[in-house]
Copies of this chain bind each other. A is one copy, B any other.
Amino acid sequence: MHEVTIGIAGAAGDGLDKSGDTLARSCGRLGLYVYAYNSYQSIIRGGHIWLKVRIGEEKVYCHGDQLNVLVALNQDSIERHAGEVHQGGAIVFNGDRIKCDPSLVREGVQVLALPINDITKDLKEKYGPIKPIMQNTIAIGAVAYLAGIGLEEPSKVLNDTFAHKGQEVIDLNIGLLTAGYEYAKANAKVVADGWTFSKKRRPFVTGNEAIALAAYAAGCKFYSAYPMTPASTILHWMAANQTKTGILVKQCEDELSVINMAIGAGIAGVRSMCGTAGGGFALMTEAVGMAGIMEVPVICVEVQRGGPSTGLPTKTEQADLWQVYGASQGEFPRLIVAPRDIADAYDSTVEAFNLADKYQLPVLMISDLLLSEHPETVDPEAFPAEVKIDRGEIVEKWDESQGKYKRFKFTESGVSPRAIPGTPNTLYTHASDDHDEESILISDMFTAPPVRRKIMEKRQRKMVNMLKELKAPVLEGPADADVTLVCWGSTSGVVKEAAERMTAQGTKTNFLVIKYIAPFHTKEVTEILSKAKKKISVEVNFTSVMARFIRMETGIAMDGHVNRYDGEPLEPQGVIDSVKEILEGKQKDLDVSEAEAKEMVYHYLRTHSLEKLRPVKLTQEAANGKGEPTWNVEIAERVTGKPGATMVIGTKTGTTHSFTKAE
């Protein structure tokens, strides 16, 4: 497969996402496929940001685990990432400010220190001093050369991006781009080229944008939200485009208000949606049950991030399954669906609106940070402007001669034809107390056990009937595989690549992506899994929630679990390695590795304002009276190389047994 991966590293506020965007859009317009992942932190400025842009001639399903070109925007970034650049790759940085210690660089990697001052002389004369953030454009120019995508398309993208800022800004930026491009051309070898540019222009979209766009297509009229990473960009898109779409966008005072407003709008008869992250959803759960018992169509998007609690706000994780499944007390029908990728997020959203209306119930969409915030190029056909809109059984008119309208009529299907408030002669009350067909409370003086039994059964029948029209999951990859990987959400991209690579390497591997969680395709999944030879779940969490869920629904346990829960998303090679370990029957090793110990040292130094020091040597010691083997670390002064401190880290627990400054 023809592809290249660019990494851009810097601090928050360095404007690095804009640069990545220019690059990605250029490729997207050329007809290449792009998948980008931004590993950022939640503070506004300063925190480390690591943006990976993977470009391929064929579709790329995850950010991969390669690194061909590194753009380092500060010194720290060199130290963290230089060693990751593969042979044949290149490292690009501002040579005026940043140094690259050759010992950090692998063999066969070009080091391209851009002499920013020199190459921008002319531009400075013409436009005045260049802001630091603009220097990124120079680097992008260099990358455009190294990645073999040419100058033309990036220039056009810059032209569009800065159109509202006037010609001077456009010219300056294109000037910077060109300077970087020319410098690289003169001083470096291309890292990738020979692309076939199909020129099919593909939108470069995040999962959140896809959901918002789909909501518009599906006829959503009301979107309420309270800002929370990683769901906020739905709100931002909705707000930015509100006058175009006609969707009323309401930022509320809290998430309780958010969902209750959305339900109110749903009651009134508009298609309504709300969105939040795990913590905000925790505040919404009571209302989900209300929508259930009132049989109100409403969509709620829950975007998972690193938890528990405030947790790791800008990190991806898939650990909210139980929260969503367990949302609200009691039992009531609802659809829980977890889209697997960006195109699927579009389809799922459209379907969500239709099923919500058809079955008159809340739909909970589980997304995750990676899916919601990473952008990728998507075929434009994946975003049809015209979609099916099915509002279900609606009572448009009711005559008193038809008898009393019964909002919650006990029907075979479980669905009772719905009259939208405002319709004459169909008046009723939406009650969160349980009620009979006519919406008269059965909770108060009237409790009649058989009535309660029947309304409960009516509601639950919706789950049975809805399941019939949901597409059952299917195995992807070779039918006769030796290994079956099981996953959900954004992890499916990595799993797909891992499975394909494993198959290519001789271990036939297929995979199963679970999309519908409630109702669940128990029959089909049981059939698939009971035939699978080795079943391994792959999830970004500690407790393998989906594997547990599947066991609940099918009784079938996995043969092994691949988990990652350190804040970073899974990558194909990591999955392959873990799967191999499982196949070989190895116990998962939880010890602190040397690389990890080193990172822990860096963490300690950074959090104790000791950035003048750095780890230089790590040795492992088995018996030392600490109750566990340890990593003994020699730490030196960065500049002088003189001994700075020693640190002892527990190999099992990871605790800092001691940190001793040199005298």
Contacts and interface: CB of A to CB of B under 8 A. Distances in A.
Contact of A446 (B282, B285, B293, B607): B607
Interface of A, secondary structure class, is loop
B542 A460 contact: yes
Contacts of A48: 445, 447
A313 B433 contact: yes
A367 to B, nearest CB: 13
Contacts of A323: 285, 326-329
Given A293-B311, A307-B329, A410 B443 contact: no
Contact of A567 (B43, B328, B449): B449
Interface residues of A, number: 111
A309 B282 contact: no
A251 interface: no
Interface string A311-326: 1111101011111111
A312 B442 contact: yes
B602 A448 contact: yes
A292 interface: yes
A600 B313 CA distance: 52
Interface stretch (A117-125, A215-223, A350-358, A648-656): A648-656
A445 B309 contact: no
B568 A449 contact: yes
A593 to B, nearest CB: 8
Interface in A592-636: 592, 596-597, 599-600, 602-603, 606-607, 627-628
B446 A606 contact: yes
A602 B567 CA distance: 59
A393 interface: no
**How many copies of the chain does the oligomer comprise?**
2
B411 A454 contact: no
Nearest to A12: B445
B557 A329 contact: no
Given A329-B278, A607-B446, A457 B590 contact: yes
A42 B328 contact: no
A445 B658 CA distance: 23
B652 A412 contact: yes
A596 B331 CA distance: 22
B317 A330 contact: yes
A290 B309 contact: yes
12 contacts: A41-B447, A307-B330, A319-B331, A320-B329, A322-B322, A403-B658, A410-B655, A436-B603, A451-B654, A452-B567, A457-B590, A548-B552
Given A285-B285, A454-B592, A457-B654, 16 more contacts: A41-B443, A42-B444, A48-B447, A279-B289, A309-B329, A309-B332, A311-B433, A312-B433, A312-B447, A313-B443, A326-B326, A410-B654, A448-B599, A449-B566, A454-B654, A555-B555
